[in-house]
Amino acid sequence: MDQIMGNLGLLFEFPVVNLKIIIDGVMIGALFALAAYGLALVWGVMNVKNLAQGDFVIAGGYIAWWVAGLGVPALFGVPLAFIIMWGIGWVIYKLVITRVIERDLFTSLLATFGIAIMMAQLLNLMFGSDTQSVNLGYETLFFFDGFVDVPIAKLIGVCMATVLAICVIVFMKFSRMGQAIRATSQDARAARVLGIDTEKVYAFTFSLNAAICGAAGAIIVMVWVIQPFYGITYAIRAFVIVTAAGLGNLPGVIAAGLGIGALEQYGSHIFGIGYQQAIAVLLLLLVLVFRMIQQRRSRQVLK
């Protein structure tokens, strides 16, 4: 208790710390938002709740780490992870996901859970269980007497995440395939009637999701560390954000991602970093209860 009061006190004693916490939160939140956006896509378009989301992120990270080890400049890891994860996503779609789409909702949760533990263990067998990271060797920028630090690597990561997000948004809005995806998510049957090859749309969407996650992972490995079994962290955040923001609500996903990033940073400052995971999960429960109350008013349940 004393520690909590002390930590709260620090926030008022050094107001600049608030700025630092918010900047850090937004940085990590941007990456959460990427993974969540991918999840919102597959959930909205084909009603697949992908528990392997986090493992796609980690796999992307390992791809970037691996090519960096081969001497490729680390920043190229991001597009490479995007492309390779696209392929892996496509293979997983063809092997498993295509058979899950029309089934009941629980099926996709469990099937992707199976994929998740397979991927985590395969990564463990291939790369070992030690934590890995890519060190870009860039400087850190300091503001406010060194209290606020912004490593350039983090800045680059956030910029890349933003660019990726903008590309995806533009693609979804203006390209033929993007329109087909949005049409399918609104009404798959109508889309089929109108001549859209929904099977192709599904495959494309799932691969795109894997690729976005892979790129996010490649950014994460440059800024933080990864380990084969860290996937669950990102999967939980993605579910929290999508549940909070709802499907097909891109600005909502980004806002929720940044908000949850900041809230988590505040939470771990006040209660201690050991509560980070608990805070994320409790936020999820809060969001669920809140949405439930909303639904109850209209005598409905959260389906």
Partner 1 sequence: MTITRTKLGVLGVIAGSLLFAGQANAAECEDLVLGAAISLTGKYATNGIHAQNGYEFAIKKIDEAGGVKVGDKCYNFKVTYYDDESKGDRGATLAERLINQDKVQYMLGPYSSGLTKAIAPVTEKYQIPMVEAEGASRSLFNKGYKYLFAVLSTSEQYLASAITLAAEQAEKEGKKASDVKVAIAVENDPFSLDIRAGVMEDAAKVGMQIVIDEKLPRDLSDMSSILTKVKLLKPDVLIVSGHSKGAATAVRQIGEMKISVPMIALTHCEAADVVGNFGDFANDILCSTQWAETLTYKDELFGSAAEYDTEFKSTYTEYANKTVPYQTAQASAAVYVFADAFERAGTLDKEAVRDAIAQTDLSTFYGDIRFSDAGNNIAKPMVLRQIQNGEYKVVAPSAFASDPLNWPRN
Partner 2 sequence: MTIAKTLLYAVLLLIIFAAPFLFPDFRTQLATLWLMIIVALTWDMTGGQMGYNSLGNIFFYGTGMYACAVVGIAIAYPVAEYTNASGGGIYKFTDTQYFLGAALGILFAGVFCSLCALIIGYFTFSLRGPYFAIGTLGVAIAAGELVSNWDFVGGGQGIALPVYPNDLDEGKLFFYFLFAGTGIILFIFLNWMYKTRFGAAINAIRDDEEKAEAMGIHTLRYKLTTWAIAAFFVGVAGGISAYQLIHFEPLETAYQTINLGIFMVVCVLLGGKGTLWGPIIGAIIFQVFKEVTWNYLLGWQWVALGALIVVTVVYFQDGIMGWLKHTKPEWFGIRVEKSADGGANS
User: Contact positions toward partner 2, by CB under 8 A?
Assistant: 49, 96, 99-100, 103, 105-107, 109-111, 113-122, 125, 232, 236, 239, 243, 272, 274-275, 277-278, 281-282, 284-285, 288-289, 292, 295-296, 301-303
User: What token pair was written down for 13?
Assistant: 């004693």
Q: Which stretch binds partner 1 (CB under 8 A): 88-96, 104-112, 142-150, 210-218?
A: 142-150
Q: Which does 198 bind (CB under 5 to 8 A by kind): partner 2, partner 1, none?
A: none
Q: Which does 292 bind (CB under 5 to 8 A by kind): partner 1, partner 2, none?
A: partner 2
Q: Does 20 bind partner 1 (CB under 8 A)?
A: yes
CA distance 290 to 98: 33
Q: Does 18 bind partner 1 (CB under 8 A)?
A: no
**Contact predicate 20/27, CB 8 Å:** no
By C-beta, is 129 or 295 nearer to partner 1?
129
Per the listing, tokens 């349940």 go with: 301
CA distance 125 to 195: 44
DSSP state of 98: G
Q: Does 149 bind partner 1 (CB under 8 A)?
A: yes
**Contact predicate 29/162, CB 8 Å:** no
Of the candidate residues 147, 166, 190, 282, the single one contacting partner 1 (CB under 8 A): 147
The per-residue b/e assignment along 95-130, b for 16 or more CB within 10 angstroms, e otherwise, is ebbeebbeeeeeebeebbeebbeebbeebeeebeee
Sequence length of the chain is: 303
**Contact predicate 21/265, CB 8 Å:** yes
Give the binding site for partner 1 (CB under 8 A): 3, 7, 10, 13-14, 17, 20-21, 24, 28, 129-131, 133, 135, 140, 142, 146-147, 149, 151, 153, 220, 224-227, 229-230, 232-233, 265, 268-269, 272-274, 276-277
